[in-house]
Chains A and B, each alone.
Chain A
Amino acid sequence: MTPLYIQAFGGVDDRGLHSVAGTRPWDAGQAGPDEVRRDQVLDKQYPAFGKLSLPDRLAFAASSIALTPGGTAPLAACGMCLASEYGSFSTDLRYQESIAAGFPSPAIFSSTLPSSAISDVAIYFGIKGPNRVLCGPDAIVDIFACASRLIAHEKCTSVLVIALSAMEAQDRQSAIARRPVAMSNSAWAFLLSGIGNDTLRISIAAEPGDASAAAKADDVSLYSLARLFMQGAEGEIPLTIPQYRGKIILTKET
């Protein structure tokens, strides 16, 4: 895998809001990432924020944290690679409910696509490069590989990788989910480039593993990745993705 360099990151999960400045816990009374507010991730007013479906809002929040500080290279040619663990599962159910209520909702329908989670990120930050959207529990590994290949094939020089695990609480027990669902939601965004500049280098050493392993509902890899990056530390993080054996390796350029 062509090595990737982390330029910036943002994340929202149960612990709080994560950025290069550290982790900010949720406000008292805020139940977690599902209740993220616009003012916590963006300085400017953005009326569309509240309209976003839950998955789209989390992806937007993590991306905003990663991209807002600025000082990053222009984003117009940047690619976007999204790993969406559950796709638009919850939004699909909400749209179906609007059909059953007799008034199909155009707004909800326009978000019943796994790829709608990159739509507002692209629009707000003007990100016009190549796109990849993969679904499923091991999409996160494939999406780093996608980003690496985009750069290796000279299709772009930087990529925003977004890892999204988002399902509305009311749907977690849904019989049609067909596999265990994580008990809380998270979204991570890593701005990666093919050129280092004193940043840490990430590579993923992964091999297809035991495909019969049941999907693991809890994945701490990306939090660990972010923490190592914040510390400027090298390290190895075991992949906790069901279908893969391997690790994410962070090294300093020498």
Chain B
Amino acid sequence: MMEELIETLKQQIITTLKLSDIKPADIDPDTPLIGGNLGIDSIDTLELLVLLEKEYRVTVPDVNIGRKAFASVRAMAQYITDNRRP
């Protein structure tokens, strides 16, 4: 389940952030998302917040929680799993 979610998330990140040079296989689920080699900046982080809300109905209440939630794709998947509203 988690692995499936991670793969789906990778594709959604690529589409949402328009990372045109990147394929899902290029994204390591455990390396840092922000400031890593994907060129994800602060505006992209805000777009990821919108993605969480739109696709998973999950909100991030503050910046510190956000930092942990976006630490990696796996962290994102875990945050979604923990906070997803039924």
Contacts and interface: CB of A to CB of B under 8 A. Distances in A.
A contacts B directly (C-beta below 8 A): yes
A29 interface: no
Interface string A91-110: 00000000000011111001
Nearest to B17: A51
Contacts of A106: 43, 46-47, 50
Contacts of A50: 18-21
B44 interface: yes
B50 A105 contact: yes
A100 to B, nearest CB: 14
B46 A48 contact: no
Contact of A48 (B39, B50, B53, B54): B39
A105 B47 contact: yes
A103 B44 contact: no
Given A48-B39, A110-B43, A38 B20 contact: yes
Contacts of B44: 51, 107
A42 B50 CA distance: 31
Contacts of B38: 47
B21 A45 contact: yes
B22 interface: yes
A103 B22 contact: no
B61 to A, nearest CB: 17
B17 to A, nearest CB: 6
A103 B20 contact: no
Nearest to B41: A48
B47 A107 contact: yes
Closest 9 A/B residue pairs (Cβ): A50-B20, A47-B39, A106-B46, A50-B18, A51-B18, A107-B47, A103-B54, A103-B50, A107-B43
Given A50-B19, A103-B50, 12 more contacts: A38-B20, A45-B21, A47-B19, A47-B21, A47-B22, A47-B40, A48-B41, A49-B21, A50-B21, A106-B43, A107-B43, A107-B44
